[in-house]
Chain A
Amino acid sequence: MADRVLEIDGVSKQYRLGAIGGGTLHGDLTSWFARMRGKEDPNVKIGKEHIAHNEKFWALKDVRFNVDRGDALALLGRNGAGKSTMLKLISRITAPTEGEIRIRGRVASLLEIGTGFHPELTGRENIFLNGAILGMNRAETSRKLREIIEFSEIEQFVDTPVKRYSSGMYVKLAFAVAAHLDPDVMICDEVLAVGDLAFQQKCLTKMADIARDGRAVIYVSHNMRTVSQLCNRGLYLDAGHLTYDGSVEHAMELYGGSSARSVSRNLDEVPRTKDRGDTMRMLSIHFENTQSLEYEMDTAMEFSLTCISHIPEPRLRVRLILQNSIATPIAMTQTEPFEVAAEETFTRRIRFPLDGVAPGEYVIKMSLISGTPRGTTAYYDTIVDVSRFIITDDPALNAGFVWSERLWGNIRLKPLEMQ
């Protein structure tokens, strides 16, 4: 037990959807006054009625795991799985609803690069300020100052206000401060995406050193290359539940693999961002012409989408946004408008031609929208990760070249024509 640094014991976190966004005293008073007179609450959104009024949502449910010295832990999961919430709980930014987190030693969390940096202050002043925010006292920071400056590679600019820094320099300095905290647990959330490749490598090495030193690292990233390089243990979170704790290889498979590529999916229970999905809701999706969601280039995907509508809508469209494996939007396409009646449950069979989509792994984001070409668009429901799918590479279709996503992107244009 001596080398245990962190215990997560049955931790749950609940958010009340209605509570997000902050009310006004005026709003609460008018609601209260209307209820007193037995009238309808003027602040309840039309169509929401009683559904969302007290809707609760578990971002994490009964999660338990331990972290020992020497662990380099990868916390994996799709968007909205609860990774960030977990990190916020461990870093004490918000309190859990249930359960207990026990910590031994110091936790340094790097949830964002350069937290608390002030642009008007110089690099040196910011080192002290940032160090103090992260929990170092002045003497400790002074002792580490040389090392920090050296690591950050910004010696000649250390007395320049950081507002004149490039974003790369900013990241370097911020990471350098956090890495020299001597934390017992270091938490890193997707922060290395900004720096150049050489510095990224340096940071990974530094984190690996921290773990090898007998401390612990918890790392969250969608970049599997860095995960596999750094981590020796993987956790997989799915919709707030910890579903796997073990080797990093298997956790990565879960993340990129079959669980996210099921042929049928119940969309009703997928957590929505904000309060969408009340007047109209996607219920389920079924992919028709596939077993594995792997498609060859230039073929087409076919799926049936079942939705329920509580209101009549003459111009409903299904919009599909194609995102690459790190959730960057690539392209958009949508259906023609169609009409639905109130309280109608409808299923539409949709064909999605995959022409021009380059080999690689993709995520489908889908919305129910209505809107005219010139007017504003109303979003009824949005799910950011309906499904993953893969376009397999076939060099024969590409003059023998193997597609390189990193160099060439995600759109495969028609061949150039010589005239």
Chain B
Amino acid sequence: MDRRDRNNSWDMVIRPRKGWFDIDFKGLVRYRDLILLMVKRNFTILYKQTILGPAWVIIQPLLTTLVFTVVFGNLAGLPTDGVPKFLFYMAGNIMWHFFSQCLTVTSETFVKNSKLFGKVYFPRLVMPISTVLTEMINFAVQFVLFIIFIAIYAARPDSGVSPNWQLIALTPLMLIQLGILGLGFGIIISALTTKYRDLAMLVSFGVHLWMYATPVTYSTSMIADKYPQLLGAYMLNPITPIIELFRAAYLGVPRYSYGYSLLSVIVTAVVLIVGVILFSRVEKTFMDTV
């Protein structure tokens, strides 16, 4: 045994829950292998339990994009800032899908894992983090598909697609921010659902409505044209600048949100901090109430 032992110092002291900032970051680092194994598990399960397996990852965005293109692009005839409709909707769609998946899956952290959490301790944040990483891999697959479609369209003359390479370099940051937003909102909800179960019902419904407050099925330029006085309020949605930036980077559509990107980053940081604090507070005693 090392010297610390003889000095009567302890490796761990378990105390009553008190204080808001009692967060186990060291534990999280120690359990990093568990995070990776959980990601692998999530993937294996996805692969083994469904007939189409990982094909869902591709089918889902393709079908949704197709529906958006037909309904919003062709039937409703919404303008898409001069870029091909399919690409425009696909860009919004894969980004939104990534965010909403992160949010909905992490929001179920306590309820879905209550059996496991009741039997063994590990830093509970392992679960939401591994969820976000799993969704990032799914996103990567969809992203490759997106690049293929860009290449197909860009090969045609007058396609209207004009990638901005400087902005493209920011892609990892956009993803990280979007993932953090999904995680942050998700763990806030998961912490609240331990007390209020009916909040879980609100999640899928709320996420659906949220999508319409975000330029996924239409372009921000339409808001700027029709409701210029509301544009400021509209841009408060932290997802909007990210999706805008993504579209600007890969398709070259005009952006309205230069100043709002900073605000979005601040909101992200606040959501994450609030989320982690709430989550850490709940994780110590939620077993008593579930």
- Given A105-B11, A129-B41, are A23 and B33 neighbors across the interface (CB < 8 Å)? no
Does B60 reach chain A (CB closer than 8 Å)?
no
CA distance A115 to B121 in the complex (A): 11
Count residues of A near B (Cβ-Cβ below 8 Å): 51
- Given A23-B196, A24-B198, A94-B285, are A115 and B119 neighbors across the interface (CB < 8 Å)? yes
Q: Are A134 and B288 in contact (CB under 8 A)?
A: no
Does B197 reach chain A (CB closer than 8 Å)?
yes
Q: Are B119 and A22 in contact (CB under 8 A)?
A: no
Does B6 reach chain A (CB closer than 8 Å)?
yes
Within 108-123 of B, Cβ neighbours of A (below 8 Å) are at 116-122
Q: Are A89 and B194 in contact (CB under 8 A)?
A: no
Does B209 reach chain A (CB closer than 8 Å)?
no
Q: Are B198 and A26 in contact (CB under 8 A)?
A: yes
CA distance A97 to B16 in the complex (A): 5
Find chain B residues with CB under 8 A from A24 CB.
Answer: 196-198
Q: Are B17 and A95 in contact (CB under 8 A)?
A: yes
Q: Are B16 and A96 in contact (CB under 8 A)?
A: yes
- Given A20-B289, A111-B119, A133-B120, are A28 and B196 neighbors across the interface (CB < 8 Å)? yes
Does A389 reach chain B (CB closer than 8 Å)?
no
Find chain B residues with CB under 8 A from A128 CB.
Answer: 37
Find chain B residues with CB under 8 A from A95 CB.
Answer: 14-17, 284-285
Does A132 reach chain B (CB closer than 8 Å)?
yes
Does A202 reach chain B (CB closer than 8 Å)?
no
Find chain B residues with CB under 8 A from A137 CB.
Answer: 30, 33
Among A117-125, A313-321, A392-400, the stretch that binds chain B is A117-125
Find chain A residues with CB under 8 A from B194 CB.
Answer: 22
Find chain A residues with CB under 8 A from B34 CB.
Answer: 132-133
Does B290 reach chain A (CB closer than 8 Å)?
yes
Does B225 reach chain A (CB closer than 8 Å)?
no
- Given A111-B119, A120-B49, are A93 and B33 neighbors across the interface (CB < 8 Å)? no
Does A164 reach chain B (CB closer than 8 Å)?
no
- Given A112-B119, A120-B44, A133-B122, are A23 and B195 neighbors across the interface (CB < 8 Å)? yes
A343 to chain B, nearest CB (A): 34
Q: Are A94 and B8 in contact (CB under 8 A)?
A: no
Find chain A residues with CB under 8 A from B17 CB.
Answer: 95
Does B5 reach chain A (CB closer than 8 Å)?
yes
Find chain A residues with CB under 8 A from B122 CB.
Answer: 133, 135
Does B156 reach chain A (CB closer than 8 Å)?
no
Q: How would residues 3 to 36 of chain A score, 1 for a CB under 8 Å from any chain B CB and 0 otherwise? A: 0000100000001000111111110100000000
- Closest Cβ neighbor of A189 among chain B residues: B119
A383 to chain B, nearest CB (A): 23
Does B12 reach chain A (CB closer than 8 Å)?
yes
Does A1 reach chain B (CB closer than 8 Å)?
yes
Does A92 reach chain B (CB closer than 8 Å)?
yes
Find chain A residues with CB under 8 A from B289 CB.
Answer: 19-22
- Closest Cβ neighbor of B13 among chain A residues: A102
- Closest Cβ neighbor of A122 among chain B residues: B44
Q: Are B37 and A102 in contact (CB under 8 A)?
A: no
Q: Are B287 and A88 in contact (CB under 8 A)?
A: yes
B54 to chain A, nearest CB (A): 14
- Given A22-B194, A103-B10, A138-B33, are A94 and B288 neighbors across the interface (CB < 8 Å)? yes
Does B199 reach chain A (CB closer than 8 Å)?
yes
CA distance A348 to B116 in the complex (A): 46
Q: Are B287 and A104 in contact (CB under 8 A)?
A: no
Does B1 reach chain A (CB closer than 8 Å)?
yes
Does A116 reach chain B (CB closer than 8 Å)?
yes
Q: Are B197 and A93 in contact (CB under 8 A)?
A: no
Q: How would residues 18 to 39 of chain B score, 1 for a CB under 8 Å from any chain A CB and 0 otherwise? A: 0000000000001101100110
Does A416 reach chain B (CB closer than 8 Å)?
no
Give the A-binding residues of B (Cβ under 8 A): 1, 5-6, 8, 10-17, 30-31, 33-34, 37-38, 40-41, 44-45, 48-49, 116-122, 194-199, 284-285, 287-290
Give the B-binding residues of A (Cβ under 8 A): 1-2, 7, 15, 19-26, 28, 88-106, 109, 111-112, 115-116, 118, 120-121, 125, 128-129, 132-138, 161
- What are 22 A-B pairs with beta-carbon distances under 8 A? A7-B10, A19-B288, A21-B289, A22-B197, A23-B196, A24-B198, A28-B196, A93-B117, A93-B118, A95-B17, A97-B16, A101-B14, A102-B14, A104-B5, A109-B119, A115-B116, A121-B45, A129-B41, A133-B116, A135-B30, A138-B33, A161-B48
